[in-house]
Structure 1
Amino acid sequence: MPAMTPDVPMIAAAQLKKRFGSNEVLRGVSLSVAHGEVVALIGPSGSGKSTFLRCLNQLETIDAGEIRIAGELLVGTDAQGQCRYAPEAEARRLCRKSGMVFQHFNLFPHLTVLENLIEAPMVVAGLARAEALQRAERLLAKVGLSAKRDSYPARLSGGQKQRVAIARALAMEPEIMLFDEPTSALDPELTGEVLRTMRELADERMTMLVVTHEMGFAREVAHTVAFMDEGELVVQRAAREFFADPGHERAQAFLDHML
């Protein structure tokens, strides 16, 4: 395992290509995320944002390109143009460096909130139950849901479910958090409580890559904004610069529509 230095990106994706049948979803996308950086990945629906995110932890496999996680190779392309992933155990270890929060929560409906949080640390990471419970209690307090520890997901609001999903991802102590439109399934009044939790993570210098349509969050919290359109990363700029002038006609049109 290489020694981690501050200038090694937590995520380094180079020239990722992915197609589903005849549909080329990613057309050579390159993106780097530094340690402690918050990157907002924005763009119209169908531009490839979620697919790109899912490729970073092998929920989707790429057709070409290279992905490094904290300097270590998850997948590369050989001289014959074939993608070669790290051996299975190594790939699993690298993917566990990332926690992922989905649009539709993906909580286990038959488990209580507390049980949702301790399942993976015990089963996947081999944590003792007492330690997993202690970690889960701490994380539920962090997201303001200690009182819901024994509730089942069906009894929670959408915003509460998403905060539980964030806590569940954090229970594996990831170095990177990936968010796939975490507020798009929520009523507007519930969005704020999830964004507050994400702001707190950003304040703690958690490395975050966030696919989002929340321009306020992107402007206020993200260090960098990356704009995708039709499978390409068109613009990547510091958030302040991007919202002052995205520097690309398509990105400007998107902003004009969203703001």
Structure 2
Amino acid sequence: MPDSTSELPMIDAKGVKKHFGHQEVLRGVTLQVARGEVVAIIGPSGSGKSTFLRCLNHLETIDGGSVTIEGEALARTDAQGRCSYVPDAELRRICAKMGMVFQHFNLFPHLTVLENLIEAPIVVQRMARDAAIARAETLLAKVGLSAKRDNYPARLSGGQKQRVAIARALCMQPDIMLFDEPTSALDPELTGEVLRTMRELADERMTMLVVTHEMGFAREVAHTVAFMDQGELLAARPAREFFADPGNERAQAFLHHML
């Protein structure tokens, strides 16, 4: 369970708004994530789930509201409705607290598995190569892929690629892991190995925000389930309570369809 003694939420998003042209994609989304908490965000396609996740680590800019990470403001909106971000150096430092795993892996095809893992620690964190390799090898063992360290991504299965992507994100030692539908591009038989890795992270009390269609994962692993539809967060309840009664008609209809 999340650490109830921690005073500040790891993620504190308030009234987050986002437009793409005239389309309002996020309509004032508010969500807090506590230290060690696993939050699953579910909902129909096009509901704004992935956009919300990308707004948290500045892959998308917000048009209103605020985002605070571990007590540090990333973006806020003033009384006149002007949204502004912290200076670039501070922005990069705060965003470095978060690791991101995407739907389509985003591995560098010209680098081996090991090289994919050590690239950012060496270039961004200025880590010594030997130390980066040692960290990478530990994480490859963690995700069960030590034997693939010298392979190129093209020689891996989809499930293996996603586990490498998780290890690569962990190599930067983030405090928070964001997952954007990490199994949706995988064949069903490969989904289980990725979800097992994510369960292990949850068991280690990694703070995780997971956009997913995997209802089993949401029910069994998440502490909190948040339901989004049409750019709004309509329900957020403890997982057991949510699946018993989400407290929202649209969420209930979604569960009926998915289960």
Q: Using the TM superposition, give the Cα deviation of residue 55 of structure 1 relative to its aligned residue in structure 2, in angstroms.
A: 0.2
Match of 2:128 in 1: 128
2:6 counterpart letter in structure 1: P
Aligned to 1:35: 35
CA RMSD of aligned residues (A): 0.6
Q: CA deviation at 1:79?
A: 2.1
Task: For residues 71-114 of structure 1, give each alpha carbon's deviation from its aligned partner in whole angstroms, at most 9, with x where no partner exists.
Answer: 00000011221111011000000000000000000000000000
Give the total of aligned pairs.
255
Q: What pairs up with 1:170-185 in 2 under 5 angstroms? A: 170-185=170-185
Q: How does 1:83-102 map to 2 (within 5 A)?
A: 83-102=83-102
Aligned to 2:111: 111
Identity of counterpart residues, as a percentage? Answer: 80
Match of 2:220 in 1: 220
Aligned twin of 1:165: 165
Q: Which residue of 2 aligns with 1:231?
A: 231
- Per the alignment, residue 138 of structure 2 pairs with 138
- Stretches of structure 2 that go unaligned for 5 or more consecutive residues are none
CA distance in 2, matches of 1:201, 1:185: 21
CA distance in 2, matches of 1:7, 1:143: 32
> Distance between the aligned counterparts of 2:86 and 2:186, measured in 1?
37
CA distance in 1, matches of 2:7, 2:233: 22
Which residue identity lines up with residue 217 of structure 1 in the other structure?
A: F
Task: List gaps (5 residues or longer) in structure 1.
Answer: none
Aligned equivalent of 1:254: 254
**Secondary structure at 1:50's aligned position in 2?**
helix
| Counterpart Cα distance in 1 of 2:249 and 2:14 | 24
Deviations 1:12-57 (A, max 9, x none): 0000000001110000000000000000000000000000000000
1:244 aligns with 2:244: yes
Q: TM-score normalized by structure 2?
A: 0.98
Where do 4+ consecutive residues of structure 1 move more than 3 Å? Answer: none
> Offset at 1:172?
0.1
Q: Name the SS for the 1:201 alignment partner.
A: helix
